[in-house]
Structures are given as structure tokens and as C-alpha cells.
A = this chain, B = another copy of it.
Amino acid sequence: MARRLHAPMTSHTEENYLKAIFKLAEKTAKAVSTNAIAAEMRTSAASVTDMLKRLAEKELIHYEKYRGVQLTEQGSQLATALIRKHRLWEVFLVDKLGFAWDEVHDLAEQLEHVQGSGLVERLDTFLGRPKFDPHGDPIPDAEGRWAFRQQVALNTLQPGDKGVVTGVDEHSTEFLQYLDQLGLALGARLELLERYPYDQSVRIRTADGRELTLSEKVGQNLYVKVS
């Protein structure tokens, strides 16, 4: 097959770089460094530089030697569309095909690169226009607008506060499976009973009355909406 008649303007690889840059820019709020991208993509800095030139050539990023990069408007839109596709496919895999929330990342990573007239919008409609993916991450709409979520890390709650699990900050299989084990799925209700300053761990009570002690690490990576 090689080249289909209308060669995609951006290759899979380029798309992955854009997504990585978007993700990093989100966290740092300033120009993204070559090394940071290399780490995110698990590749060498030299390869990154190589790609940055190509992306700059296509006007998907602003790039000045030694000065880091920022996405252009076009690049940002492309990255947003990619994230939209990724998260919609994750919803599909979990809601329709019955995958667990820790199994879908790699598949969605492939599915997000499928392109074709109207596929995303039809998928969106089919899924009932979800606003969040199975990890609680927001899904931008077709115009690139993001739903806003009022959530905080679990370990910022005070004793007596009640909330609902709305998302996670870490997507590793280990963490997600651990949450499953604890019975802490998305939407689970809980109440914070006590905070232990010594090691920043917290004690909570779940909806079904079980009491759990969670480490600082879990408390940081679990998001809840206070209710």
C-alpha cells in the first residue's frame, strides 16, 4: 500500500511528537526542551532535533536552535484532535468492548492515528458524546474546547470532606490495577477520615463502609471532586 493516494500530511511519528510536546507544554507552561521531548518519547536528543526541524518546516511548531519549542496554532489543533481521538477510542474500548481501564492505552495509541472522513465525529456520536475518558481525563470537543473539571488530589482534602473519584494522574497498569483491587473505580464515593502528617498518608471510608489507608503516592495521583 505504501502511500495512499492522499498522503497524510503528518506521519504517525510526527503526530506522536506533537502529542508529546503538547503534554509537556501543558505541565511546564513555557518552551519545551529537546531533552524533555527525548525523555517523553524514549528516544535520543539527536533524533528529536532532527524531527523538530521537520515539524518547524511544516509550521507545526515554533523552533529556534537551543531555545526549545512551542506548538503553533496549527500544531496545537492537531495535537488536540489527536488527544480527542485517543480518548474517544479509550471510551470505546472500555464501554463497548469491555476492556479494563488499564488495558486500553496502547490500543488507543494506534487507533488515534486512523484518519478518515467523519470517523471521529461518528464515533463520538456512537459513544454518546462522552466528556471524559475512562481515566477521568477530559475529551476536547470537535472545536478543541475542553470540559472543565473541578477536582483536587485526594490528599488535599480535610477530615470530614466527602467526594467522588473523578480521575487519576498516573496511568500505569500497576496503579490502575491497585485501585481496582481497592475498589476505587471512577465514580466511587468516599469520605476522608484522617490525615497522617508523618508520612502524608490518609485514611478514607468508601461508600460500602470499608476503611482504607492510602499512601501519599496514591493520595497525590487520585483526583476527587468534593461534594
Contact = CB atoms under 8 A, between A and B. Distances in A.
Interface in A77-99: 96-99
Interface range on chain A: under 10, 10 to 19, 20 to 34, or 35 or more?
20 to 34
A11 to B, nearest CB: 11
B106 A119 contact: no
A99 B122 contact: yes
A104 to B, nearest CB: 9
Interface in A134-161: none
Nearest to A16: B1
* Of A1, A12, A47, A97, most B-chain CB atoms within 10 Å: A1
A207 interface: no
Interface of A: 1-2, 4, 12-13, 16, 41, 43, 47, 96-99, 103, 106-107, 109-111, 113-119, 122-123, 126
List the 9 closest A-B pairs by CB distance, nearest first: A1-B16, A97-B122, A107-B116, A110-B114, A97-B126, A111-B114, A96-B126, A106-B116, A107-B119
